[in-house]
């Protein structure tokens, strides 16, 4: 936050507070304790009640807000990069008979609509990263539910690959949002019940409308948990399951690999410009636009896993992804009125391609795999952001390979035809005409939420066009060839460039942001529906609507009256 601190004096007005800090370290955690004893790590939730993001609520009963989830996000990332010998992660509660009470109700009641929705989206992305660690990184997450797991607490457990519940006749799992709060389980709970755990839909309906949830044997019989044990045998159950899952992992043994430390990001904000080492964000407030530039490496980059281990988080292929991800999070939460993100790149495309070779030639190495998955998550977060995304390909750009994904994922892509002489593109070196260079990275390294590549999504149902685009892999495509291949939207020449780009940005700024958000979300994810697309489209859209309804958020709504002893007043009309 560059010296800023979180000030809760303006509860519910996230826009008025200083920037939220997403970059943290285990030494600064106030809500989680991380203990590493390879091949397992234990992440214990023991929330500090007074250490929330704002000061108008206390995080009681291991309830959480964005501050708690930022630490969880950091832990998920660090365990994957810094602990190659950790094969199993146990997440458990640090309070007596309490696993996690879910999202803090007072926090939700006092937050702006934008913050509530953004909070749920970030929390969903963190839960998905937990699932990805299990399925893609060989680092299985197990929930040791040592007490009550309610709402978002049970949703945290649902993100784990196994759920173990203590059978003490009191501890229960529940999703009480519908009966108690008039909202939905906002971090994928309903979707994971039926799509992931295959709970019968009528039992899922019964469970989600029963505030007290299910205990012990019933939770096991309904498929809500995987195993139960009495208090005397619970620790043994957790240990046995952890040992069994560790034995199936392909992560290196203790001496088989060196992790890399994820150091603090170098982030400097000066007015409306924020600079990292490889990423810059410049705000143009009158146009509602953020100009985001990713720069190519300027020095030689690691070409082997050993060199990557030595370079650590300073390697461009790691640092650029982390910086892009951090920039996207800050824009989401700190700049909600900046509705259009204009993506640029700058530098030598050959340098990007050279840095990317490591990911191609050593894809089976655990650390290289983590780097590819890091880019997958960063690019997905960009896809899932409720902002218009425009990519500008100009002389001096380096939309090549991994960085070409920025152009392929944009809502509109402009590529300048020929040389640029009519003004300043913001690039350091104009050089020759702009090019777009596809590599094998664009053929599927970084799947979207729909499990397809951005190329396959772009040409969904158009197999010949997809094949033609894939045939262009390895070539420098100028504007004419890129347009012929269907890879860009428009190719103005230097006489029309400034006017066409400016008119597009002005037009976008004039439209309803609500309509744009809905339109973009419907267009970006062509093709098959997955659990992820359900969570980020169906669930997010409905929760967005519910969060604005008086039944939930009105003065007599359930969120406002929760804990007061007064029942909410509902408008009974179904919509």
Half-sphere exposure of 43 (CA within 13 A, CB side): 29
- CATH number for the domain harbouring residue 496: 3.90.226.10
CA 327 – CA 274 distance, rounded (Å): 9
- Which residues lie below 8 Å from residue 451, measured CB to CB, with a gap of 6+? 528, 530, 532
232 and 278 inside one domain = no
190 and 334 inside one domain = no
Say if residues 47 and 63 touch (Cβ distance below 8 Å): yes
Residue in 466, 488, 456, 451 with CA at minimum distance from that of residue 376: 451
237 and 358 inside one domain = no
In this structure, is residue 569 part of a structural domain?
no
Say if residues 317 and 358 touch (Cβ distance below 8 Å): yes
In this structure, is residue 453 part of a structural domain?
yes
Give mean pLDDT in consecutive 10-residue pieces for the chain, a chain of 575 residues: 32 54 96 96 97 95 97 98 97 96 94 93 97 97 97 98 97 96 93 97 97 97 98 98 97 78 96 97 98 98 97 98 98 97 98 98 96 98 97 98 98 92 50 92 97 97 96 97 97 96 97 95 93 91 90 92 91 90
85 and 185 inside one domain = yes
The gap from C-alpha 117 to its chain's centroid, in whole angstroms, comes to: 13
Report, in this order, helix, strand and coil percent for the chain, each rounded to 5. Answer: 45, 15, 40
- Take residue 527 and report the two structure tokens written for it: 């093709």
Question: Residue 148's beta-bridge partner residues?
Answer: 98
Q: What is the pLDDT of residue 16?
A: 46
CA 146 – CA 172 distance, rounded (Å): 9
Instruction: Write the burial class of residue 353 (CB in 10 Å: 0-12 exposed, 13-18 middle, 19+ buried).
Output: buried
Cα separation values, 280 from 116, 143, 275, 328, Å: 27, 39, 4, 11
Instruction: Write the burial class of residue 28 (CB in 10 Å: 0-12 exposed, 13-18 middle, 19+ buried).
Output: exposed
What domain count does the chain have?
A: 2
Q: What is the bridge-based pairing of β-strands 388-393 and 289-295?
A: unpaired
201 and 328 inside one domain = no
Peptide bond into 454 cis (omega under 30): no
The b-or-e profile of 97-119 (16+ CB within 10 A means b, else e) is ebbbbbbbbbbbbbbbebbbbbb
In this structure, is residue 525 part of a structural domain?
no
Domain-terminating residue out of 473, 492, 520: 520
Domain-terminating residue out of 246, 280, 310: 246
* Main-chain dihedrals φ then ψ at residue 105, nearest 5 degrees: -70, -40
239 and 304 inside one domain = no
239 and 272 inside one domain = no
- Take residue 30 and report the two structure tokens written for it: 């106030």
153 and 49 inside one domain = yes
* H or E segment to which residue 306 belongs: helix 305-311
185 and 272 inside one domain = no
Residue in 393, 435, 432, 431 with CA at minimum distance from that of residue 412: 393
In this structure, is residue 451 part of a structural domain?
yes
* Main-chain dihedrals φ then ψ at residue 41, nearest 5 degrees: -130, 150
508 and 371 inside one domain = yes
CA dihedral 163, 166, 171, 177 (to 10 degrees): 0
Say if residues 346 and 295 touch (Cβ distance below 8 Å): yes
CA 254 – CA 300 distance, rounded (Å): 30
Residue in 414, 424, 289, 426 with CA at minimum distance from that of residue 347: 426
In this structure, is residue 461 part of a structural domain?
yes
- Which residues lie below 8 Å from residue 405, measured CB to CB, with a gap of 6+? 375, 379, 441, 442, 446, 454
* Main-chain dihedrals φ then ψ at residue 34, nearest 5 degrees: -110, 120
281 and 189 inside one domain = no
**Residue 156 belongs to domain spanning:** 8-246
Q: What is the pLDDT of residue 6?
A: 33
226 and 338 inside one domain = no
In this structure, is residue 255 part of a structural domain?
no
The gap from C-alpha 76 to its chain's centroid, in whole angstroms, comes to: 12
Instruction: Write the burial class of residue 173 (CB in 10 Å: 0-12 exposed, 13-18 middle, 19+ buried).
Output: buried
* H or E segment to which residue 41 belongs: strand 40-45
In this structure, is residue 474 part of a structural domain?
yes
Residue in 235, 234, 244, 207 with CA at minimum distance from that of residue 222: 207
Domain-terminating residue out of 477, 497, 520: 520
In this structure, is residue 567 part of a structural domain?
no
Half-sphere exposure of 464 (CA within 13 A, CB side): 1
């Amino acid at each position: 936050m560059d010296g800023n601190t979180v000030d809760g004096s303006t509860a519910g007005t996230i826009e008025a507070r200083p920037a939220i800090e997403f970059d943290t370290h285990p030494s600064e955690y106030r809500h989680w304790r991380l203990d590493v004893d390879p091949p397992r790590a234990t992440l214990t939730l023991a929330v500090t009640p007074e250490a929330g993001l704002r000061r108008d609520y206390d995080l009681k009963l291991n309830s959480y807000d964005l501050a708690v989830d930022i630490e969880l996000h950091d832990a998920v990332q660090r365990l994957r990069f810094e602990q190659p010998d950790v094969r199993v992660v146990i997440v458990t509660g640090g309070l007596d008979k309490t696993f996690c009470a879910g999202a803090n109700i007072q926090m939700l009641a006092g937050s702006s609509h934008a913050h509530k929705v953004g909070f749920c989206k970030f929390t969903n992305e963190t839960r998905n990263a937990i699932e990805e660690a299990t399925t893609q990184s060989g680092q299985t997450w197990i929930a040791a539910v040592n007490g009550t797991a309610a709402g978002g607490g049970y949703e945290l457990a649902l993100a784990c690959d196994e759920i173990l519940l203590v059978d003490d006749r009191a501890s229960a799992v529940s999703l009480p949002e519908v009966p108690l709060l008039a909202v939905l389980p906002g971090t994928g709970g309903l979707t994971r019940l039926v799509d992931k755990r295959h709970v019968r839909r009528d039992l899922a309906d019964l469970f989600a409308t029963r505030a007290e949830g299910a205990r012990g044997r019933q939770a096991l019989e309904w498929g809500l948990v995987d195993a139960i044990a009495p208090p005397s045998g619970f620790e043994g159950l957790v240990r046995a399951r952890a040992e069994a899952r560790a034995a199936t992992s392909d992560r290196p043994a203790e001496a088989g690999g060196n992790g890399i430390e994820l150091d603090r990001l170098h982030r400097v904000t000066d007015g409306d410009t924020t600079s990292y080492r490889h990423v810059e964000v410049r705000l143009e407030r009158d146009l509602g636009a953020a100009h985001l530039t990713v720069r190519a490496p300027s020095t030689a980059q690691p070409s082997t896993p050993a060199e990557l281990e030595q370079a650590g988080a300073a390697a461009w292929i790691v640092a650029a992804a982390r910086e892009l991800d951090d920039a996207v999070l800050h824009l989401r939460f700190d700049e909600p009125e900046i509705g259009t993100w204009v993506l640029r790149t700058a530098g030598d495309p050959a340098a990007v391609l050279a840095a990317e070779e490591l990911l191609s030639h050593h894809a089976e190495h655990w650390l290289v795999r983590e780097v590819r998955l890091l880019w997958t998550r960063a690019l997905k977060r960009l896809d899932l952001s409720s902002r218009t995304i425009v990519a500008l390909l100009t002389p001096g750009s380096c939309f090549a390979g991994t960085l070409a994904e920025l152009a392929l994922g944009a809502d509109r892509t402009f590529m300048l035809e020929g040389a640029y002489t009519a003004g300043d593109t913001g690039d350091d070196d104009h050089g020759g005409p702009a090019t777009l260079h596809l590599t094998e990275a664009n053929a599927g390294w970084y799947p979207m939420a729909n499990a397809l590549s951005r190329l396959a999504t772009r040409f969904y149902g158009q197999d010949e066009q997809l094949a033609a685009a894939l045939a262009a892999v390895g070539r420098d495509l100028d504007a004419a060839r890129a347009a012929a291949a269907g890879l860009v939207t428009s190719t103005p020449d230097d006489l029309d460039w400034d006017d066409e780009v400016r008119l597009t940005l002005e037009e976008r700024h004039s439209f309803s942001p609500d309509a744009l958000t809905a339109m973009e979300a419907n267009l970006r994810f062509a093709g098959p529906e997955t659990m992820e697309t359900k969570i980020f489209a169906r669930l997010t859209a409905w929760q967005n609507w519910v969060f604005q309804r008086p039944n939930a958020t009105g003065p007599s709504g359930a969120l406002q009256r929760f804990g007061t002893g007064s029942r909410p007043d509902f408008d009974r009309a179904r919509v």
